[in-house]
Amino acid sequence: MSKINGAQSLVNALEAAGVEVMFGIPGGAILPAYDPIFDSKIRHILVRHEQGAGHAATGYAQATGKVGVCIATSGPGATNLVTPLADAQMDSVPIVAITGQVPGPAIGTDAFQEADIRGVTMPVTKHNYLITDPADIPRAIAEAFHIASTGRPGAVLVDIAKDALQKETTFNYPKNVSLAGYNPVMEPKSEAISDAAALISQSKKPVLYVGGGVIKANAAKELLALAELTGVPVVTTLMARGAFPDSHKQHLGMPGMHGTVAAVTALQKADLLITLGARFDDRVTGKLSSFAPNAKIIHADIDPAEIGKNRHADVAVVGDLKNILRALVPATKAALAKSAPDLTPWLNEVYGWRKKFPLGYDTPSDGSVSPQYVIERIGKISGPDTIFAAGVGQHQMWASQFIGYEKPRTWLNSGGLGTMGYAVPAAMGAKVGAPDTTVWAIDGDGCFQMTNQELVTCALNNIPIKVAVINNESLGMVRQWQTLFYNQRYSNTDLHSKRIPDFKMLAEAMGCVGLRCETPGDVDKTIEAAMAINDRPVVVDFNVHRDAMVWPMVAAGTSNDDITVARSMAPVWDSQEL
Amino acid sequence: MAIHTLAVLVENSPGVLARVASLFSRRGYNIDSLAVGPTENPKVSRMTIVLNLEGHALDQVSAQLFKLVNVIGISEMKDSDSLKREILLVKVVNTPATKEIVSKHKAVISDEAAGTISIEAVGQSSEIEALLKELRPHGIRELVQSGLVALERGDKTLADRTLSTMGTANESNPNSSTADYQN
């Protein structure tokens, strides 16, 4: 076998792993790899900040289902990847990060641009590697892609010493990856399936509690089959928006801190939660001890460590959700043939809540633009084939509430880590993965100022994303909490971003089209103008009312029973509902 | 408070101890003692971890540990069906009384100097405790103790159960009080 250097071996391994695109920035320690990258068929997109590379890999992975790849140099290049690695790991997104490391003999000497990135990222990755021998490169890459993409997906980092990239080696890509300590359970146990089916057939107040795992497992079709077979109402968490069509009559919307009254209340009053790829996150359960007090729990997940972590499972089903649902549908059908409780009273109740407490918002009396209206109109005009990527905060919640999602992988956001600045680079990655799809970043003026430099990357690389900056000139969600819980003392949340920066000029300076909308009457035509631009990225500065708040709300640490529809307004229940 | 002993087979790879320690630290699990060493298989190391579980289910701890890619198998070592031993080295004053305690407890004097004797003892935690309790009034000059190590009684080995079969985590009863994770 002919001798090549470690860098060429790395690039060969990435090609063998099926990588089509990677996002990165070169630097000293990774420099040897950039020489063969120059000749590779892999598209390398030169970003402006490593954090952008990481979130772009995540957006690419979330939109396509493939593994996203980012690459950076040692030290600061690598530490700039920590946030996107933690972000991807929290949201179970398959990404692989390649970092250069100082040469082997220099490791541990506090060398220039040295950071122990394997140590740093241990708690925020599914697994990681430090490679000092070029012979280990192909195996490490093969294992990294295998670990990132199988089981519960996650982030994997491969740190490679510079001298390992420079030394001679032979390329030998393993055909199969076999890891003694890693064999994710794919097939559910049949007893667990029959126990789950039996519980479903006995329950009078069931709810399908659907999490992001359904999207990861590509199991939306199977979920639809189970939902329609049983007639059980569905809630989709923030990570699962799009897993079940919003237009479907059984859909109650999103549960949790800013969920719909119907979704939150249905979970609270249910006698059975059919939990699919969800993890009883605090943003969903509110105060855990008072969450769904009367419900038995079926918990189906690929990660055994999620079972019983936050809430005891009466029936645990470990496996791939597609396999689980494929088995559960016929098992439930058989169980229902023996006994099928009448769900009508329950359905009347939950659909009654949905009708009585729909999502809504106020139109500002001063003639300014309502942020919810902007987001709702973008959703309507752009349609359900569009991919939406949101930042974190009020605009994220509104985008989850007021856009109708009909398909998986059309809603990308940072759910677990809550990473401000996620939207622009994630939208960039999504657009690279789905170039024929319209991609909107719904961003806040605070978030946008964290990562907007990637618009330069978009402008130079023909990645024409659209960015809606929902500009309320403040850190809106923090401001909302200050309004509600800190006596309207707006400490350090005023960004003045209607004055500085000028987002329209900033966009144009970065090679994008900049638009601005300041009145409700201009919203539609501004969106349509943005929709008509497909040769360049476009940024729309939507100047919106700054006092708009996200409702409904369950205050942090309180019970879901204490949901507030709007400020100081608890739902008014009929007496029999309480 | 519940004390549990876990035997954990791990791949003998760099950073594996850091991964386990990092996991326990970030999830707030308390380690009473940790002993790591080689096994009959040069590719595999064995950790014996004594845990003080307050507010954490043993199954959850095991499941989180089992998620580490380098962890091959986990088994709880129960008092009833395993051998548990600790090593004690202790330096005390050299007097007839301390020597008598040593022979009473079947410990060994491994070094004798003018003023002190260094005692070596191997035993169960309770035996080590008992020895120390008697020595303490005589003045302990220096003390070092190993973490506990444990081995299952009978013909079965942990490696038999974890390395030869492609089993699964015990998802059928995730809320059970026993943890036995295998690959």
Residue B174 has pLDDT above 80, yes or no: no
- Among B67, B158, B165, most A C-beta atoms within 10 A, so best to mutate, is B67
Cβ-Cβ contacts under 8 Å between A and B: the total is: 77
Q: Which residues in chain A touch residue B14, judged by CB atoms under 8 angstroms apart?
A: 130
Averaged pLDDT for residues A72-81: 98
Q: Do A318 and B68 touch (CB under 8 A)?
A: no
The residues that bridge with A442 in the sheet, in sequence order, are: A390, A468
Q: Do B60 and A126 touch (CB under 8 A)?
A: no
Averaged pLDDT for residues A129-152: 98
**Residue A151 — left, alpha, or beta (φ > 0 → left; ψ -120 to 50 → alpha)?**
left
Q: Do B63 and A305 touch (CB under 8 A)?
A: yes
Q: How many CA atoms lie within 13 A of B20 on its CB side?
A: 29
Q: Cβ of B27 under 8 Å from any chain A Cβ?
A: no
Q: Do A313 and B18 touch (CB under 8 A)?
A: no
Q: Cβ of B161 under 8 Å from any chain A Cβ?
A: no
In one letter, which amino acid is A35? D
Q: Cβ of B11 under 8 Å from any chain A Cβ?
A: yes
Cβ contact A207:A267 at 8 Å: yes
Structure tokens at A252: 């109650």
Q: Cβ of B174 under 8 Å from any chain A Cβ?
A: yes
Cβ contact A278:A298 at 8 Å: no
What pLDDT score was predicted for residue B1? Answer: 67
Q: Closest by alpha carbon to B168, among A104, A316, A23, A92?
A: A316
Cβ contact A159:A103 at 8 Å: no
Cβ contact A293:A285 at 8 Å: no
The residues that bridge with A129 in the sheet, in sequence order, are: A158
Q: Residue A501, preceding bond cis, omega within 30 degrees?
A: yes
The residues that bridge with B7 in the sheet, in sequence order, are: B48, B75
Tell me which H or E stretch contains A319. Answer: none
Q: Cβ of B183 under 8 Å from any chain A Cβ?
A: yes
> Band of the pLDDT at A1, cuts 50, 70, 90?
low
Surface of A (288-307) touching B: CB under 8 A: 303-305, 307
Q: Is A51 tagged catalytic? A: no
Q: Closest by alpha carbon to A122, among B30, B35, B21?
A: B21
- Pick from B18, B60, B172: CB nearest A122: B18
> Rounded to an integer, what distance in angstroms lies between the CA atom of residue B7 and that of residue B180?
10
Q: For the whole model, what pTM was predicted?
A: 0.95
Catalytic residue among A20, A66, A113, A380: A113
Residue A162 has pLDDT above 80, yes or no: yes
| Mean pLDDT across chain A | 97
* DSSP secondary structure letters along A147-167: HHHSSS--EEEEEEEHHHHHS
Residue B82 distance to chain A (closest CA, Å): 24
Q: Is A477 tagged catalytic? A: yes
Structure tokens at B92: 């005390």
Query: What is the distance of C-alpha A127 from the center of its chain?
Result: 20
Averaged pLDDT for residues A278-304: 97
Name residues whose C-beta falls within 8 Å of residue B7's C-beta, 6 or more positions apart in sequence.
B46, B47, B48, B74, B75, B76, B77, B150, B152, B158
Quote helix, strand, coil % in chain B, to nearest 5: 30, 40, 30
- Pick from B18, B57, B69: CB nearest A127: B69
Quote helix, strand, coil % in chain A, to nearest 5: 40, 15, 40
Cβ contact A537:A455 at 8 Å: yes
> Rounded to an integer, what distance in angstroms lies between the CA atom of residue A517 and that of residue A281?
37
Q: Residue A552, preceding bond cis, omega within 30 degrees?
A: yes
Catalytic residue among A8, A22, A23, A50: A50
Residue B162 has pLDDT above 80, yes or no: no
Q: Cβ of A180 under 8 Å from any chain B Cβ?
A: yes
Cβ contact A234:A410 at 8 Å: no
Q: Is A450 tagged catalytic? A: no
Q: Do B172 and A126 touch (CB under 8 A)?
A: no
- Pick from B67, B172, B175: CB nearest A192: B172
**Residue A137 CB burial class (10 angstroms; 0-12, 13-18, ≥19):** buried
Q: Closest by alpha carbon to A449, among A490, A411, A496?
A: A496
| pLDDT tens profile A373-410 | 999 999 999 999 999 999 999 999 999 999 999 999 99
Q: Do A122 and B168 touch (CB under 8 A)?
A: no
Residue B180 has pLDDT above 50, yes or no: no
CA angle, A208 then A209 then A212, to 5°: 125
Neighbours of B55 (CB within 10 A): 7
Residue A212 has pLDDT above 80, yes or no: yes
What pLDDT score was predicted for residue B163? Answer: 59
Q: Do B171 and A318 touch (CB under 8 A)?
A: yes
Name residues whose C-beta falls within 8 Å of residue A45's C-beta, 6 or more positions apart in sequence.
A21, A22, A23, A24, A56, A432, A457, A461, A463
> Band of the pLDDT at A243, cuts 50, 70, 90?
very high
> b vs e for B3-37, b when ≥16 Cβ sit within 10 Å of the residue's Cβ?
ebbbbbbbbbeeebeebbeebbeeeebeeebbbbe
| pLDDT tens profile B96-129 | 999 999 999 999 999 999 999 999 999 999 999 9
In one letter, which amino acid is A316? A
Residue A256 has pLDDT above 90, yes or no: yes
Residue A37 has pLDDT above 50, yes or no: yes
Q: Do B68 and A181 touch (CB under 8 A)?
A: yes
> Rounded to an integer, what distance in angstroms lies between the CA atom of residue A281 and that of residue A562?
18
Residue A5 distance to chain B (closest CA, Å): 24
Name residues whose C-beta falls within 8 Å of residue A499's C-beta, 6 or more positions apart in sequence.
none
Structure tokens at A8: 């060429």
Averaged pLDDT for residues A232-239: 98
Structure tokens at B141: 């000059």
Structure tokens at A226: 């189970």
Q: Closest by alpha carbon to B180, among B80, B87, B63, B30?
A: B63
Structure tokens at A331: 């098992």
Q: Cβ of B63 under 8 Å from any chain A Cβ?
A: yes
Q: Do A304 and B66 touch (CB under 8 A)?
A: yes
Collapsing DSSP to helix, strand or coil, B9 comes out as strand
Residue B164 has pLDDT above 50, yes or no: no
Q: Do B183 and A303 touch (CB under 8 A)?
A: no
What pLDDT score was predicted for residue A572? Answer: 77
Query: What is the distance of C-alpha A396 from the center of its chain?
Result: 11
Residue A501 distance to chain B (closest CA, Å): 40
Averaged pLDDT for residues B59-88: 94
Averaged pLDDT for residues A548-560: 94
CA angle, A278 then A270 then A218, to 5°: 30
> Band of the pLDDT at A202, cuts 50, 70, 90?
very high
